[in-house]
Structure 1
């Protein structure tokens, strides 16, 4: 009887071990499937990060080029008011530039400037553009 109960206990233990082994194999398979899915998601994420990095590099390059262009334009435009002042000082009897500046401030057109101040069309356009540039400037320190 003792042997029969021992045999029954050993069989029950063997059945439990087989059940545990089956459960371990099922969990191992589920873990491998999850790892594979995670790997696929990681690959998609990494590809998206590379795409976004490439876009960011493109935007940064564009901004740097735009900043360089703006600095070049500022370098060209900054001395213009001084040059106009020098031109006015050369011929004190000719007040056409100061008159043109006042007229532009009052809304005169390029044609108005050429007729009333005796400026060439190019000079009148320059005066008009300078006035527009001064109107658009925001007070700030130079870079």
Structure 2
């Protein structure tokens, strides 16, 4: 009987130790779950912020595309306009000379002074021929 009581005491101590170990493991798991929940909330917030930024970039991209289309429409007819201007009166307006000077880096003011062009004409020639290699 004494042996059975001793054996029962040892089993009770083992069960008590096992219960304490399970309790500590449960607390560790609860702390880990709480930490992951906090990290998950922070990640969710970060994802929302990044989503808003992405939407903003997309709106900007669309606007830039629309503006680029408008600029293409405006610039599309410039070579034709220049050709018409060059054919207008070659004696008084030296557009080919202005084009060569613009290709060499002359400013619109230089073209106005050297070739007798109006400011608008000089701007147009300078923009069309700036940085082009000479023929």
Whether these two folds match at TM > 0.5 is: yes
Give 1:117's aligned residue: 115
Residues 111 and 14 of structure 1: CA distance in aligned 2, closer, same or farther (over 3 Å): closer
**8 Å CA contact 1:88, 1:94 repeated in 2:** no
TM-score normalized by structure 2?
A: 0.81
Corresponding residue of 1:98: 96
Which consecutive residues of structure 1, in runs of 5 or more, have no partner in the other structure?
137-143
Matched with 1:59 is 57
In structure 2, do the counterparts of structure 1 residues 112 and 11 end up closer, same or farther at CA, with 3 Å as the change threshold?
closer
- 1:38 maps onto 2:36 in alignment: yes
After superposition, the CA RMSD in angstroms is 2.2
Instruction: Quote the offset at 1:34 in angstroms.
Output: 1.1
What is the CA distance between 1:94 and its match in structure 2? 5.8
d(CA) in 2 for partners of 1:131 and 1:95?
A: 16
Distance in 2 between the 1:27 and 1:61 partners?
A: 51
Q: Using structure 1 for the length normalisation, give the TM-score.
A: 0.77
Which position in structure 2 is the counterpart of 1:77? 75
Q: Judge which range, 86-95 or 119-128, deviates more.
A: 86-95
Q: Which moved more, 1:94-103 or 1:118-127?
A: 94-103
Number of residue pairs the alignment of both structures matches: 132
Distance change in 2, residues 1:45/1:114 (3 Å):
same
State the 4+ residue runs in structure 1 displaced beyond 4 angstroms. 90-95
Comparing both chains, which one has the higher relative contact order based on Cα–Cα distances under 8 Å and sequence gaps of 6 or more? 2
Equivalent in 22, 27, 37 of residue 24 of structure 1: 22
CA distance in 1 between counterparts of 2:42 and 2:22 reads: 30
